[in-house]
Structure 1
Amino acid sequence: MLFFDDTPSSACTTASDVQDLAAVDQASPPTDQAPAPTPWPEARRHVIQMSGGLGSFFAAVRVAERYGTSAMTLLFADTTVEDPDLHRFLRDAAAFLELEVVRVCDGRAPFDVFDDVHFLGNSRVAPCTKFLKQKPCRDWLKANCDVADTAVYIGIDHFEARRTPAILDEWKPWRAGFPMCDPPYWDKDTMIAECRALGIEPPLLYKLGFKHNNCGGICVRAGMTQWRHALKVFPERFAEAERREAEFRAKHGDHTILRQQRNGLRRNLTLTQLRQRAETVQTSIFDPDQGLEQTGEEHTSGGERRSA
């Protein structure tokens, strides 16, 4: 299967861009009550945001079952740090749908974006999402599609349905649909089983214990549990993230991907500290982060604080 490389030029990013992203990320805080399923948009052309995960693949399958594949595009934004098996899975998924993958790529890695915008991504605000995924996909849509007759489809499932209002606003003026938020409601284990039933081996990262197949398991949106797991499974990848975080801190001050809370006090937690703690207690039966929690407060490089 072939990949079409429709690569836009690298984006110029500013502090105001990051502030806009923060506003989007905080526009729809989690709630106990998920919103009702969003009606599917009426459109002639259907563009699937193929993340490399099972949710987006089965979103494509459901769109194909309803509309066919003659007007469908599988659009993949490459962050340059994906696990190699993600590309294998994309090829298998596209072959099953008898389509080709359209690849867009800004050219930078997530930490390159953080350096450019002077903002270290974290669980609440991740500039890499905007500049490595959303903007390249929007650029491709603008160049190749008509907003009046095109719908984009996102692979989030019913268990993340609370995110749909913010995503709908984020994608305007393009109309967005969420096929996996409709019945039948599938959890990740069901998707893995259904994928194998189709004769496709699921992405490797799921087998290795990761909840998502993105950024090679090294995602700034993850919490301490996943970072400790990444240290165990991919020590070289963790070491590279640790190095890049340290370089960012040397340039911009005491900013970290993770924060911890104990006895009501919040403080930054570097990846180096997390690794050292894990190495110290690796033979202990106790959780090294017992009593700690990652907070939703993040810092800009200028020292400004935002509360989640």
Structure 2
Amino acid sequence: MANESQKVHIAILGGGVASAFVAEDMVKKYGRENSRLIFIDTFIGSVDNPTYYANHQFVKDVAKYIGLTLIEIKNEEKKNDFYGSLSYSEEFNTKLSASVQVKLKQILLYLEGIRENEGLEPVLHFGSVPDKMYSNKTICLESVEKDLGSVSDLRSFFESAPAKTIETRFPLMEYDSKELDIKSLIQDNWGITLPRSERKRVYIAMFSGGAGSAYVAYYMVQAFGKENCKLFFTNTLWEDEDNLRFMDEISEYIGLEITEILDGRTPEEVFYDNKFLGNSRLAKCSEELKVRQTLIYLEELRDNEKLEPVLYFGIAPHEKHRRDDSHVRRKSNLVQEDSQDANIRKAAGIRSFYEHFPIEPIESRFPLIETLRDDLDAKGIIQYEWGIKLPRMYTAAVQKAEDENDPLAKKLVERGINGFSHANCGGRCVRGGFQHYATLYAIWPNQYKEQEEMEERFNKYFQKNVSILKKNGTSYTLKQFREDMEREGVEKYLFTSDDTIPCVCSFS
């Protein structure tokens, strides 16, 4: 067995904070003259992956801080007798992925060179951490290095090396995770900027006041703890007052305060500022009051608090696709742009947006589509298990049928339409189509009148002839639509679903 003077200690950097900490700790114990750093990237697609560049720079910064030259193991297959003798099926009994094995075999080549040319015995130090460290809600450690492999598999690989067993060490397995916040140490004490994949996560429920986003917020908090989560609400100033009551009760039930962001303008003021009336095809109000304010807030989290946001949305598959078994099987129910479900396509669009428009991509998650069970009834759980009354926009038809014995409201309820499809902007959503505005006229005629008058004010002010709705490719004002409903009967429009995709406000 080699004595200490015959050993060279090598930290295997995987691009994350755990191995960086282990490397610095190793150098402290054994000195720079007895230490080396190897970078083995853990990224799918390697250098073609944008994440690689940020983490690669991070590893370079760590090496500079420690004061050692960085040895990089490139993703290249070296052909020689030693490499060719290494066979996964014959030589290694491990569950490590094929891509990781290729890189570890390249490390073996380097280690054999150390033995043969320098007469030193390598000792490898890995940044693997116990599972409890990943689940610690205070530290909230997540890392690209989780993809490298388990301790047992890594140890088995190097113990079965063809030439000679190589010693492996896993220092973090012995640390008390409650006392160790690696990310803060590297960021605050070392002064090294963490790459996106290594920053401390903050989980943000995009809280719209709807049942879906409320349940997803609860789910998120249970998974990550209140200290790592935020309820995020962008107020358009058109919200129904009962939405605010509902949101306050959800906030109290979950135990998490609402982070409310205001642009300060109403949707109508946005239309005037942009000289463009929002409609079912394009809604500048959502872009300005919701999306823009969200992006500003998220970048401030990164810049000022050094946190990496992960967004949670309450989008669920459309009800008809929930009932259609061909569309709700979990393996087919992922967020995809070519989905037959309009809501899932919308989720794919949101994911694409947050991957491309922020300064750095922001991860978005859709548990009601990709994670939770298909038959989950968020409205029922909130109303009957949590004891929280749903926003009146969801039950407006029921209330009108019961309180006023209104015949139209009764017909809506008979057809399973208890209220509005989403609870945003007090029913005045400009992305709504014919059914939406027929429902608004039938249930809340005063709000319909407000929207009709807004449209008329806009046209008069800008001397235009534009409208929220279109018919036969031309302008079709809410006044014209109301007159047609009064002449032909509102029932004609109540029970034909709109083809429009819901506004992003429905989910943010």
Which TM class, normalised by the smaller chain length?
A: 0.7 to 0.9
CA distance in 1, matches of 2:427, 2:470: 19
CA distance in 2, matches of 1:201, 1:252: 44
AA matched with 2:458: F
The 5-angstrom pairing of residues 65-214 of structure 1 reads 65-145=222-302, 149-159=308-318, 160-172=343-355, 173-181=361-369, 182-186=371-375, 190-196=377-383, 197-208=385-396, 209-214=419-424
Contact 1:122 1:258 in 2 (8 A): yes
**Which residue of 2 is the match for residue 24 of structure 1?**
none
**Which residue of 1 is the match for residue 438 of structure 2?**
228
In structure 2, which of residues 449, 462, 468 is the aligned counterpart of residue 257 of structure 1? Answer: 468
Look up the SS of the partner of 1:287 in the other structure.
helix
- In the alignment, structure 1 segments of 5+ residues that lack a partner are 1-40, 297-308
Indicate the RMSD between aligned Cα atoms, in angstroms.
Answer: 2.6
CA distance in 1, matches of 2:213, 2:475: 34
After superposition, give the CA deviation of every residue in 1:218-265 in whole Å (9 maximum; x if it has no partner).
11111111101111222222111111111222215221110123xxxx
Displacement after TM superposition at 1:268 (Å): 1.9
Q: Does 1:287 align with 2:470?
A: no
**Which residue of 2 is the match for residue 270 of structure 1?**
477
Displacement after TM superposition at 1:63 (Å): 1.1
AA matched with 2:475: N
Distance 1:127 1:100, change over 3 A: same
AA matched with 1:192: K
CA distance in 2, matches of 1:214, 1:292: 18
CA distance in 1, matches of 2:424, 2:349: 21
In structure 1, which of residues 59, 75, 81 is the aligned counterpart of residue 216 of structure 2? Answer: 59
Aligned length: 248
Distance 1:258 1:186, change over 3 A: farther
Deviates more, 1:232-241 or 1:215-224: 232-241
Deviates more, 1:94-103 or 1:135-144: 135-144
CA distance in 2, matches of 1:117, 1:71: 37
CA distance in 1, matches of 2:202, 2:500: 41
The 5-angstrom pairing of residues 22-61 of structure 1 reads 44-61=201-218
CA distance in 1, matches of 2:421, 2:264: 25
**Which residue of 2 is the match for residue 15 of structure 1?**
none
Normalised by the length of structure 1, the TM-score is 0.74
Distance 1:61 1:292, change over 3 A: closer
Distance 1:117 1:180, change over 3 A: same
CA distance in 2, matches of 1:252, 1:155: 40
CA distance in 2, matches of 1:295, 1:165: 16
Normalised by the length of structure 2, the TM-score is 0.46
Contact 1:121 1:128 in 2 (8 A): yes
AA matched with 2:382: C
Displacement after TM superposition at 1:166 (Å): 1.6
AA matched with 1:164: A
AA matched with 1:130: E
CA distance in 2, matches of 1:193, 1:260: 37
Percent of pairs identical after alignment?
30
Larger radius of gyration: 2
Q: Which has the higher contact order (CA 8 A, sep 6+)?
A: 1
Displacement after TM superposition at 1:216 (Å): 0.3
CA distance in 1, matches of 2:497, 2:365: 37
**Which residue of 2 is the match for residue 218 of structure 1?**
428
Deviates more, 1:120-129 or 1:151-160: 151-160
AA matched with 2:310: A
Look up the SS of the partner of 1:45 in the other structure.
strand
Q: Which has the higher helix share?
A: 2
Look up the SS of the partner of 2:492 in the other structure.
coil
